A and B are shown apart, each in its own frame.
Chain A
Amino acid sequence: MAHLLTPAPVAAQHMVRMRLAIMRNSLRGDDASNLTAGVSLGVLLAIGTIAVAVLWPAYLPLTLAGWLSGWIFGPLLFGGGSEALRPEYFSMLPATPRQVAVALLAGAFAGPAPAVNLLALMSLPVYGWRFGPVGVLVGLVAAVSTLIIMVMISRVFVALIGLFVRSRLTATTVGVLIGTAIALCSNGWALAAALGGTDTAAWFETVFRVLPSGWGVAAVEASWPLALAILVAGAGVIGLLLAVWARLLSRRVVSAVRGGVPSRRGTPRPLPATTSGARITAAKELRAWWRDLVRIQLLATAFSYAIVTPLLLLAIDAWIMVPFTGLIAIVMAASSSANLYGADGTALWLTLMTPGAERSDVRGRQLAWLLAVGPPAVLLSLAGTLVSGESWAWPWVLGLLPALLGGGAGLIVLLGVTSLVPGTDPHKRGGNPLSTGADESAETGIAWLVLIAVPTTALPAAGAILYHPLAGIAAGLLTGALSMWGFGRIAYRRLESRGIELLNLMKHGPAPTPDKPTTADLPVQHRIGVMICHLIAWLPLFPQGVAPLFMKIFGVEGPSWFLALHLPSMWQWPTIIAMIATGLLMYGYAFLIPMRLSSSSTAPTS
């Protein structure tokens, strides 16, 4: 044979070089600066992890579990994971799937995320220092093996989703998993509090050491024969994961990926014979809600988060959230629907080429969203309020329900056309059927914006409820209808005047305007600040601000984890106000700083 197979280490080297070359070539402008900010934030978190190992070692397993969950849920929440090196590129190489998998794995490590994670895992030898030199050595070995295991789990997880999410059932399952995970992250404390009181309880320690992220801690703490056994077991798991991954990769390469299309039986129901443009678009959109796995997964995430959150609080016998299940679902569903224009991609050309179709398109999308989200949300609200027996909640539920539904239906189309994040056209996507290929950090930014903006549209209704319950319901209906009509009107006007620019944004990406500074030009410390604010500003605003505010107004007992309610009563109101102010300030900073920068420039577009 003329060409011998490249030996594995050499192939791995090439893969690393290729990955770095791709990264270098794709790092232009915004991306490069995003990367710098992301890496800086990661390094801060990694240093924080090491600090935990030094100062509060009892929490190290929990902290490392956080890193593991990042590897698992990161690719789910933020698109398809790193697909810089696709297995399809190498499918014609004369090599076994295992050889390709090993080489790809090497490529997977050539990036900033594993490096940052390795820094975080240096907390293991630091923790091992307490147990002498052997502890440090075990910690070092464990750090490397834990890193490999985390990356491998992430890869296997992504590969599983890419291969097996082919039906509504699997898409829903993934959605429920994500929704539950987010609910656990934000309100899991209730469950922990109910189960065992303190965080250093025995079960707590065991759980986080049994997770793969905790094996390193377990090994460091164990006697050296046991430590050796744990490390060897870790190596075994790596081998196993590699074998699984290789099989998944080889199946992926030879199976046709069709952008997440559920199987169908029978001829589809005909579209309604109507001459109302909004109704016909709504019929089209409803079919998309039912046939697009991405949308099914997003709705499943929204509703499972809304249902699991109040259930978790039931663990500490707090029924206060149960009536609001439907309202939470509306806000979550709106936040995941804000980039539907981006997700549909260049299909917008058909709307633009059909005379006068912009208005129908916007109205139809609003109608379809209401029909997809409204009925289950109404049902959850009514059932939740009835079952909980919290009769004080009726005016709130009935007043806020129409306000939020209308606000959501208005804002999703408004943001859809004003803050569109371009993705990959549906027919050109591959790999992960649940990824739209859009820039994840930008999409997340929009989602957060909706989480703030939709409740804001319900503020007038909330004020009216405090005044009189019936006035609240009337105000809710009125503001809901107004938001939907008004925001929708701005949206289609905008689509009429700037639709072509949106289309070309999706076709060619943002137009290169060299004179115009972008968020990429923000100094790195501001970018990190903006990122952190996006991540945590909701904490002071909602759970620590708005929630205790309502609890105080209604005289609900039980301080649970609301800081303000633990304080002497004279400090409670100031604390609540300070928390809300902090949250608003953080959001203001996160949104205004980048905006101020882009508006201070003169737009050279004609």
Chain B
Amino acid sequence: MPTTREPALRTTGLRKVFGDHVAVDDVDLTVPAGSFYGLVGPNGSGKTTTLAMSVGLLRPDAGSAEIFGVDVWRDTVRAKELIGVLPDGNAMPERLTGREVLTYLGLLRGMEPAVVAERADELLRVLELDSAERTLVIEYSTGMRKKIGLAIALLHAPRLLVLDEPFEAVDPVSAATIRTILRRFAGNGGSVIISSHVMALVEQLCDHVGVISDGRVVAAGPLADVRGGGSLDDAFVDLVGARTGGAEGLAWLTS
């Protein structure tokens, strides 16, 4: 049985190569149970690939991932009972309404019909999707798709939430709602991993961060340790060795 002393997620030597491109190179991450973990990195640094391999949606070339001590690739079914996932940009059962998607997935997980109905109702109301009762998911806006994705991840009350870019394209009011939900989830002992490249958001929400650049972990640990004395933004630019452009050229635009 998984215990709370086991980390929520531990990856060891995760590696993935696409063609000649090494997307994820020997990634070791430890997400302590009960922590709110932010995975940050520039675009294309390997965040999404790492998360997909950690939850069992992409087979790693090497390495392993454990969720509360359960090996994702050896004991897949048990690992999947423990996590709720919001991947970036995947399709859904597009010809169902939001309520139908939740009902369908809840029943498919073997939950009691009454429980599914009650939770779906509550999730739709809290995430303000209940007004779109007749709208099929394919007609949802990008923000609504994020919200129904989050509802799907929460439905079975998982112990670990893995959310890839949960705030992208979400309006400020909905973002505040989602932040509150996630804080409550973490406050009650749940563990959360989010990926993002919005540093302010990560600073505001997370107590632990991991910085990935070019498929490698360049820093990881409690937020205060990673950012040192300055802001996470400064620490990030230092860590990934980025050079901010935009100051040169374009003379015709300003003349």
Q: Are B57 and A349 in contact (CB under 8 A)?
A: yes
Given A281-B108, A284-B96, A504-B58: A355 touches B18 (CB 8 Å cut-off): no
Q: Which of A264, A277, A281, A512 contacts B134 (CB 8 A)?
A: A264
Closest to B90 in A: A346
The docked-state distance in angstroms from the alpha carbon of A93 to that of B151 is 41
Q: Are A357 and B134 in contact (CB under 8 A)?
A: no
Closest to B133 in A: A267
Q: Which of A268, A349, A357, A507 contacts B100 (CB 8 A)?
A: A268
Q: Which of A287, A353, A501, A508 contacts B80 (CB 8 A)?
A: A353
Q: Are A280 and B134 in contact (CB under 8 A)?
A: no
> Which of chain A's residues have a CB closer than 8 A to the CB of B92?
347, 350
> Which of chain A's residues have a CB closer than 8 A to the CB of B91?
344-347, 349, 425-427
Q: Which of B57, B94, B103 contacts A271 (CB 8 A)?
A: B103
> Which of chain B's residues have a CB closer than 8 A to the CB of A288?
93, 95-96
Q: Are A355 and B93 in contact (CB under 8 A)?
A: no
Among A274, A275, A292, A350, residue most surrounded by chain B Cβ atoms (within 10 Å): A350
**Scoring B residues 94 to 133 as 1 if CB is less than 8 Å from chain A, else 0, what string do you get?**
1111001001110111101110010000000000000001
Task: Tally A residues with Cβ within 8 Å of B.
Answer: 47
Given A287-B95, A356-B77: A427 touches B108 (CB 8 Å cut-off): no
The docked-state distance in angstroms from the alpha carbon of A261 to that of B137 is 10
Q: Are A277 and B108 in contact (CB under 8 A)?
A: yes
**Shortest beta-carbon distance, A115 to chain B, in Å?**
33
> Which of chain A's residues have a CB closer than 8 A to the CB of B168?
none
Task: Tally B residues with Cβ within 8 Å of A.
Answer: 46
Closest to A264 in B: B134
B55 within 8 Å of A (CB atoms): yes
B59 within 8 Å of A (CB atoms): yes
A606 within 8 Å of B (CB atoms): yes
A283 within 8 Å of B (CB atoms): yes
Q: Are B57 and A347 in contact (CB under 8 A)?
A: no
**Shortest beta-carbon distance, B195 to chain A, in Å?**
16
Q: Are A352 and B94 in contact (CB under 8 A)?
A: no
A197 within 8 Å of B (CB atoms): no
Q: Are B57 and A268 in contact (CB under 8 A)?
A: no
> Which of chain B's residues have a CB closer than 8 A to the CB of A14?
none
> Which of chain A's residues have a CB closer than 8 A to the CB of B221?
none
> Which of chain A's residues have a CB closer than 8 A to the CB of B96?
284, 287-288
Among B56, B57, B78, B114, residue most surrounded by chain A Cβ atoms (within 10 Å): B57
**Shortest beta-carbon distance, A435 to chain B, in Å?**
15
Q: Which of B113, B138, B140 contacts A275 (CB 8 A)?
A: B113
> Which of chain A's residues have a CB closer than 8 A to the CB of B147?
none
Q: Are A355 and B134 in contact (CB under 8 A)?
A: no
Given A271-B103, A426-B138: A354 touches B108 (CB 8 Å cut-off): yes
B81 within 8 Å of A (CB atoms): yes
Q: Are B108 and A360 in contact (CB under 8 A)?
A: yes
A98 within 8 Å of B (CB atoms): no
> Which of chain B's residues have a CB closer than 8 A to the CB of A508?
18
Among A266, A271, A426, residue most surrounded by chain B Cβ atoms (within 10 Å): A271
Q: Are B109 and A271 in contact (CB under 8 A)?
A: no
A125 within 8 Å of B (CB atoms): no
Q: Which of B56, B89, B110, B139 contacts A353 (CB 8 A)?
A: B56
> Which of chain A's residues have a CB closer than 8 A to the CB of B112?
275
- Interface of A, secondary structure class, is helix
Q: Which of B6-56 contact A (CB under 8 A)?
A: 18-19, 55-56
Q: Are A267 and B59 in contact (CB under 8 A)?
A: no
Q: Are B134 and A268 in contact (CB under 8 A)?
A: yes
Q: Which of B18, B109, B139 contacts A512 (CB 8 A)?
A: B18
Q: Are B109 and A355 in contact (CB under 8 A)?
A: yes
B87 within 8 Å of A (CB atoms): yes
A273 within 8 Å of B (CB atoms): yes
> Which of chain B's residues have a CB closer than 8 A to the CB of A287?
95-96, 100
> Which of chain A's residues have a CB closer than 8 A to the CB of B76?
355
The docked-state distance in angstroms from the alpha carbon of A266 to that of B136 is 13
Q: Which of B80, B89, B113 contacts A273 (CB 8 A)?
A: B113
Q: Are A291 and B136 in contact (CB under 8 A)?
A: yes
Closest to A507 in B: B90
Closest to A295 in B: B95
Among B90, B103, B105, B112, residue most surrounded by chain A Cβ atoms (within 10 Å): B90
Q: Are B93 and A350 in contact (CB under 8 A)?
A: yes
Q: Are A280 and B107 in contact (CB under 8 A)?
A: yes
B145 within 8 Å of A (CB atoms): yes
The docked-state distance in angstroms from the alpha carbon of A559 to that of B112 is 63
A270 within 8 Å of B (CB atoms): yes
The docked-state distance in angstroms from the alpha carbon of A291 to that of B138 is 11
B150 within 8 Å of A (CB atoms): no
**Shortest beta-carbon distance, A168 to chain B, in Å?**
13
Among B76, B105, B136, residue most surrounded by chain A Cβ atoms (within 10 Å): B136
The docked-state distance in angstroms from the alpha carbon of A514 to that of B105 is 39
**Shortest beta-carbon distance, B192 to chain A, in Å?**
17
> Which of chain B's residues have a CB closer than 8 A to the CB of A284?
93, 96, 100, 104
The docked-state distance in angstroms from the alpha carbon of A149 to that of B107 is 55
**Shortest beta-carbon distance, B96 to chain A, in Å?**
6
Q: Which of A350, A352, A426, A504 contacts B56 (CB 8 A)?
A: A352
> Which of chain A's residues have a CB closer than 8 A to the CB of B58?
500, 504
> Which of chain A's residues have a CB closer than 8 A to the CB of B109?
354-355, 357
Q: Are A353 and B85 in contact (CB under 8 A)?
A: yes
A242 within 8 Å of B (CB atoms): no
Q: Are A500 and B59 in contact (CB under 8 A)?
A: yes
**Shortest beta-carbon distance, A347 to chain B, in Å?**
4
Q: Which of A261, A274, A352 contacts B136 (CB 8 A)?
A: A261
Chain B contact residues, CB within 8 Å of chain A: 18-19, 55-59, 61, 76-78, 80-81, 83, 85, 87, 89-97, 100, 103-105, 107-110, 112-114, 117, 133-134, 136-140, 145, 152
The 10 closest A-B pairs by CB, nearest first: A273-B113, A347-B91, A345-B91, A346-B90, A291-B95, A425-B91, A355-B77, A512-B19, A280-B107, A346-B91
**Other 15 A-B pairs with CB < 8 A, given A268-B97, A349-B57:** A258-B139, A261-B138, A266-B134, A271-B107, A277-B110, A287-B100, A346-B91, A347-B91, A349-B87, A350-B105, A352-B57, A353-B56, A426-B94, A427-B137, A503-B57
27 pairs from A and B in contact (CB 8 Å cutoff): A258-B139, A259-B138, A266-B134, A268-B100, A273-B114, A273-B117, A275-B107, A275-B110, A283-B104, A284-B96, A284-B100, A287-B95, A287-B96, A288-B93, A291-B95, A344-B93, A346-B90, A349-B87, A349-B91, A352-B56, A353-B56, A353-B85, A355-B81, A426-B91, A427-B94, A507-B90, A606-B59
